[in-house]
Amino acid sequence: MTILQFFLWSLLKVAVVTVVMLLGVAYTVLLERKVVGRIQNRWGPSRVGPFGLLQPLVDGAKSFLKEDIIPTGVYKPLYLLAPILALGCALISIAVVPFGEPNVGPAGMHLFEISDVNIGLLVILGVTSIGVYGVALAGWSSNNKYSLLGSLRSSAQLISYELALGLSLVGVVLRAGSLNLRVIVEQQATKGILTWNIFGGLQFVAFFIYLTAAYAETNRSPFDLVEAESELAGGYNVEYSSMKFAMFFMAEYANMITVGCVATLLFLGGWTSPFGNLIPPPENILVHALFPIFWFVAKVFCFLFLYIWVRGTLPRFRYDQLMNFGWRYLMPLAILNIVATSLWFAYH
């Protein structure tokens, strides 16, 4: 494959994955509105298109057409940079996520992954950490006390739970012996659900820590203290309007999808079947390629559904309860899980 072909192929994959990711963000919003509506005994969006399926397109057009108001007291360079940084980091992190078999595509290229990086897990953690700056800069540059309070609360929350989230993944890395996401999936692929890290790898405690920390990392209920309407006047994004306001929420839902993808790869066997490595023979190329995609998407969908179910079920924490839970319970539990996992592997 020539350099030009490699460049064009990579550009095509970036375009396709970006479009799919943005569509996933739009329809995750619709899924949440429909599921929460059912939980609260109402319909949710049902007017625009069959079953309300065109509602995300209308909402997107509405965000573009709304009047864009920039207050006079803001620090404009950082004020404009903050939503771009938040959404950009959320979209970039999907670049190292593999979501299908590695041997599908032209020679030397993986069809179902933009970039095969040996430290893919570290890249995701690093890029998503930079997204905190988008929230912090939005609150500071808005020159508004409510925005600043919201961004400070958000920064403290994200930093606190990011430590527990990172430590929860150490046990998985110890078992796989690699930070490469493909290696972690292939190590779980031998006997189906029995060798997934959440069960066969004895990482169910780590999965619980990861799940809880992920709710806090993405500002989701019951950890949505950042945009808590009953406590703040909108939080860090109170001075934003139009598409800039929507970009913060697009970043939130994009991070939800990324968190679901990482949970699927690290704990739920990635694109492998729960019944073992039952991939159809490569003679039927289309089925051979799409069968793993089906399992990957199904697992991410279940993770997103759990996200939404928790939002419609649990009440919000107080801020002191939020910080105490992160530092006094999740952090020590994550450290104990690392010690227990290390002793287990050393003994065996």
pLDDT digits (tens, 9 = 90+) for 299-325: 999 999 998 999 888 888 888 888 899
Alpha-carbon distance values, 172 to 124, 212, 263, 267, 268 (Å): 15, 17, 11, 8, 11
> What is the rounded average pLDDT of the residues 11-33?
91
* 201-233 confidence digits (pLDDT tens): 678 899 999 999 998 888 888 888 776 655 556
Is 4 within a domain? Answer: no
CB atoms within 10 A of CB 83: 24
> Of the ranges 188-202, 213-227, 258-272, 274-288, which one carries the lowest mean pLDDT score?
274-288
Q: What is the pLDDT of residue 4?
A: 81
> What is the rounded average pLDDT of the residues 176-181?
88
> Of the ranges 41-50, 257-266, 274-283, which one carries the lowest mean pLDDT score?
274-283
Q: What is the pLDDT of residue 228?
A: 63
Alpha-carbon distance values, 336 to 1, 170, 225, 273, 331 (Å): 48, 11, 28, 31, 9
Is 292 within a domain? Answer: yes
The average confidence (pLDDT) of the chain is: 85
* 45-56 confidence digits (pLDDT tens): 888 888 889 999
Q: What is the pLDDT of residue 106?
A: 60
Is 5 within a domain? Answer: no
Closest alpha carbon to 261 in 223, 220, 304: 304
* 95-153 confidence digits (pLDDT tens): 888 887 776 656 556 777 888 888 889 999 999 888 888 888 998 999 888 888 888 88
If one compares 70 and 287, the residue with the highest pLDDT of the two is 70
> What is the rounded average pLDDT of the residues 61-72?
88
Is 60 within a domain? Answer: yes
pLDDT surpassing 80 at residue 190: no
Q: What is the pLDDT of residue 77?
A: 92
Give the predicted TM-score (pTM) of the model: 0.90
pLDDT surpassing 80 at residue 192: no
For 208-246, letters b (16+ CB in 10 Å) and e give ebbbbbbbbbbbbbbbbbbbbeeebebbbbbbbbbebbb
What is the DSSP track for 36-96? HHHHTTS--S-SSSGGGTTHHHHHHHHHHHS-----TTS-HHHHHHHHHHHHHHHHHGGGG
* 323-341 confidence digits (pLDDT tens): 899 899 999 999 999 999 8
Is 2 within a domain? Answer: no
Is 166 within a domain? Answer: yes
Closest alpha carbon to 8 in 100, 116, 106: 106
CB atoms within 10 A of CB 302: 14
Reduced to 3 DSSP states, what percent helix, strand and coil does the chain have, rounded to the nearest 5?
70, 0, 30
pLDDT surpassing 90 at residue 282: no
pLDDT surpassing 80 at residue 275: no
Domain assignment of residue 246, given as a range: 13-347
How many domains does one find in the chain?
A: 1
Q: What is the pLDDT of residue 49?
A: 87
217 token code pair: 């990392």
CB atoms within 10 A of CB 252: 22
Is 43 within a domain? Answer: yes
pLDDT surpassing 80 at residue 180: yes
Is 7 within a domain? Answer: no
CA pair distance 166, 303, nearest whole angstrom: 19
Q: What is the pLDDT of residue 107?
A: 55
CA pair distance 17, 188, nearest whole angstrom: 25
Contacts of 206 (CB under 8 A, 6+ apart): 168, 169, 171, 172, 197, 267, 334, 337, 341
